[in-house]
Structure 1
Amino acid sequence: MSSSQHPIALAIEQRVGGDGRLLATVMCLPLVDGVFPALILAGAMGSVSGVFEVGLLVFGGSATVAVILADLDGTPREQVLTVLGVGAILLPIAAVEAALAPTIASVLDLAIFERFAGLVILAIAAQTASSRIADLIPRPAIVVGFGLIASLDLGGAELTVATDPELVVNGTATALVGVGFAVLVALAGPWLRANVDIDRFRFGSAVALGVLALSIYGFVPSDAPLSLAVLAMAGLLAFDPDQGLIFPPRESPVDAEADESLPDGGSQSDASNPVSTESDGSDDRSPWL
């Protein structure tokens, strides 16, 4: 990517290509690889703070930020329309998966599955932090698959579809938080590109994901939004208004056309200050030779 080397976004970009499809793949990936249902079953969205934590870290995480700032073309208004188009796909799928979560939970031992849900978040955090680490650990989808197998309990299976309206509302609200965050990033894109270090924010997001996993294991109180505090601190530390000074100024089209019009690659300063090649008979050699 042009501005960030986010491991997850880079891996997806090599497969799908295209900025709009890349954004849709990054934001919808938690729905496809089982991360979002795993977090629902683990009770990660049982509170308002949990809704914001999962929405900001999973759907609107650093990979989404990196894609919008580094790969998404167009004006901020055009980028917002692209994000809303992705949201139109994301929200109904999230609602359906949240509605089916109680039925899935009826055939699982949730105490065992929650441990694998924490491992999934840790795997995503490791992938976010480093592409080298990502090559050494299993993919989140594989961890979810092993969790389903290990926690399978057919003794409590139910043939009817059970739904929980609260889970549907929380799941949809979580996806909505991610989409809303992506819209804000698109609107503030020009300012963020000039003042925020994307890679620094990526490492902070990885730490916040690790804190979220600890809350699933019970090491951090679930009612304390510590991961949100870590994410906010990551955004503060990523603020770097001087980073734009390291890039050289772009050459204006007028200067470029003037340079191309000069013969033999001569510069404009050479043309405006011609040097006579006629000799007056004196010694032209440099005194340093």
Structure 2
Amino acid sequence: MSTSRHPIALRLENAVGGDAKLLATVMALPLLDGIFPALVLAGALEETAGPFPVVGAIPIGVVQVGLLVFGGSATVAVVLAEMDGTRMERVRTILLVGGVLTAGAALEAAIAPTLASVLTLHVFERFAALVIVAIAAKTASARIGEYLPRPGVIVGAGLIASLDLSNPTLEPVANTELIWLAAGSAIAGTAFALLTALLAPHLRARMAIDRFRFGSAVALGLLALSILQLPVGSAPLLVIAVTALFAFEPDAGSGVPDEHAVAATDDVVAATDGGNREPDALGDAVHDPPTDESLDEPAVDEPLDDVAEREAGEHEADHADEAAETSGDDEDDSPLDVDREPWL
């Protein structure tokens, strides 16, 4: 990639190509690999923080899943390093991908309760945490990711291990609240990608993507702990905030010249050289370069006799130079100086 060798984004770039396809694949990968349904079944979206005095309880699970699963360092790497075009073109692409992502997340959340009726959830939660740890390891290091199974394999193994056929009743169960939470997490990930695209001209020169990638891996590890019902609270979000702070380098883009500053400098240089200077109101005298006639004219204070003697001396010197040149040409053309063979 252009500015970051993100392991997951690089592998997908080689597979699909194109900035829009790459972004869609990166953001929709949790839906395709079964990571998002596993998080829905494990109850990751239902975690809340609070209640707070004014806003009440905050669905912190929605924000965490949106930023870490649909957003994350892979999305940042694609938006900053691979997406071309104008700012509005990038925004339209992200909105299009976000719309498809939101619909897919809502659909999988609608199916998840029906699937949960034939699963042992406390067993499946362990596999869901394991798949998040695997994603964190793949994000941190491509070498470690080569030795780990694919997320889809882990999710499939979790479905088999937690399958409960003692009461196989696949009745459709609709949970409207869960559908809204799933759609909200997709919207949170899309908003994160939009914010990154809008700030891309500043972030490209001032953000260390690899540093943000390692922080995202740590936050994913904490998210796995929260799935296992460990009291981590909002620690994943705090890690993301601190990581973004340390990955931002405000002095990194100081060497990039500003267009307005360059234009102002050009105006100052032009004014100094006289390019934009106009004659004064009193009238600046425009001095023409001296001609040959003006050089030959005598000075006002020079006597006429001295002028005549000077001109006569100049004419005599010119005639002497011409005579010397003529004599030199004659000597060069004389037969005595011509190289001849001995028999000629």
Tell me the TM-score normalised to structure 2 length: 0.70
The aligned counterpart of 1:109 is 120
- Which consecutive unaligned segments of at least 5 residues does structure 1 have? 248-289
User: Which residue, 85, 105, 113 being the options, matches 1:94?
Assistant: 105
Q: Secondary structure at the match of 1:138?
A: coil
After TM superposition, give the deviation of residue 242 of structure 1 in Å. Answer: 3.2
User: Which residue, 131, 136, 158 being the options, matches 1:125?
Assistant: 136
* C-alpha separation in 1, matches of 2:83 and 2:113: 37
2:40 aligned with 1:40: yes
After TM superposition, give the deviation of residue 163 of structure 1 in Å. Answer: 1.3
* C-alpha separation in 2, matches of 1:131 and 1:246: 32
Give me the identity figure in percent.
59
* 1:215 partner amino acid: S
The aligned counterpart of 1:233 is 242
The answer (yes or no) to whether the contact 1:127–1:134 under 8 Å persists in 2 is: yes
- 1:255-270 superposed matches below 5 A: none
| Structure with more contact order per residue of length (Cα contacts < 8 Å, sep ≥ 6) | 1
How well do the aligned residues superpose, as a CA RMSD in angstroms?
1.5
Please give the per-residue CA displacement for 1:226-276, whole angstroms capped at 9, x wherever unaligned: 1000010110110112334799xxxxxxxxxxxxxxxxxxxxxxxxxxxxx
2:261 aligned with 1:216: no
Give the greater-gyration-radius structure (CA): 2
The answer (yes or no) to whether the contact 1:68–1:186 under 8 Å persists in 2 is: yes
* C-alpha separation in 1, matches of 2:91 and 2:234: 28
The answer (yes or no) to whether the contact 1:197–1:243 under 8 Å persists in 2 is: no
- Which consecutive unaligned segments of at least 5 residues does structure 2 have? 48-58, 257-344
Q: Secondary structure at the match of 1:4?
A: coil
2:94 aligned with 1:83: yes
Tell me the TM-score normalised to structure 1 length: 0.83
Q: Secondary structure at the match of 2:5?
A: coil
The aligned counterpart of 1:252 is none
* C-alpha separation in 2, matches of 1:5 and 1:56: 20
Please give the per-residue CA displacement for 1:148-200, whole angstroms capped at 9, x wherever unaligned: 00000022322321111111010010111001111111111111112111110
- 1:274-289 superposed matches below 5 A: none
The answer (yes or no) to whether the contact 2:117–2:170 under 8 Å persists in 1 is: no
The aligned counterpart of 2:148 is 137
2:150 aligned with 1:150: no
The answer (yes or no) to whether the contact 1:101–1:163 under 8 Å persists in 2 is: no
* 1:63 partner amino acid: A
State the aligned residue count. Answer: 246
